[in-house]
Structure 1
């Protein structure tokens, strides 16, 4: 399959396919310099990449889970750590949701008089409610590389 067909079948833009190839996530077949051709297995590789990204894995973590021939080499410890991180985020978001619901329905005449709201403020001030950020999005250098690939003149001054 050529790059246009892969892009059409998967919805992954050609510039992203080239970026993934440079990062070592997928590989084209055929001679260098010719129009990129991909084996049918690239569709499964792209599905695995999409799944990993949806799960919050970085491209480096995803690449580490692909063998040189593109077969999955799943690192169960990385998956368990990511699942633990997601569970912690869920707990944090559920607590925040409960606090917001309480604040919206609180019968106290003023939120300043509500002990629950005051505990929320103290937790927020202490940093307990700061959102956690895994790395589901490209890091700045990766993003720059992808942007330069789409707009080659953008990276030059």
Structure 2
């Protein structure tokens, strides 16, 4: 088994040595020893770091990622949690696609006023529905 020095792990993984030390302190990875003051890792740490990077990209917290590693630091990925996160990402993709379509239409629309354009109004309504109350502006109060 080839042992990897912390510098080599940093170079091959793209993580800074300080991040590797932090992940070790957090229990996400573990060194197998030291050579002088330099931590040494088994080659499997590179796979673990790829899983950590993927988890962070997917929006998992470090605590959630840590919970996906069993006591021997190998992944035990809860499929239901991962499926729920994938569904959440799919929803964000749909929302961002609607927003992108709306912005492209605004940029390319030949109408003299966007508010006169039926396509723009439809896209705006769809974006408002997807955003829930977050994207809606209350109608002005037209009291007596």
TM-score by length of 1: 0.69
Q: Equivalents in 2 of 1:114, 1:50: separation in Å? A: 43
| 1:127 to 2:115 alignment | no
Look up the match of 1:14. 17
Size of the aligned set, in residue pairs, is 128
Distance 2:113 2:16 in 1: 52
Provide structure 1 residue ranges, at least 5 long, that are not aligned to the other structure: 130-157
Instruction: Flag the structure with larger Rg.
Output: 2
Q: CA RMSD in A?
A: 2.6
**Structure 1: 4+ residue segments shifted above 4 A:** none
1:75 to partner: Cα distance: 0.7
What secondary structure is seen at the aligned counterpart in 2 of 1:109? coil
**Runs of 5+ consecutive residues of structure 2 not aligned to the other structure:** 137-144
Give the Cα separation in 1 of the matches to 2:69 and 2:75.
Answer: 5
Partner of residue 30, structure 1: 33
- Residue 101 (1) aligns with residue 108 (2): no
Corresponding position of 2:139: none
Aligned to 2:47: 44
Q: Which structure exhibits the higher relative contact order, with contacts defined as CA atoms closer than 8 Å and separated by 6 or more residues?
A: 1
In the TM superposition, residue 100 of structure 1 has moved relative to its aligned partner by 1.7
Distance 1:125 1:60 in 2: 30
Other structure's SS at 1:96 match: helix
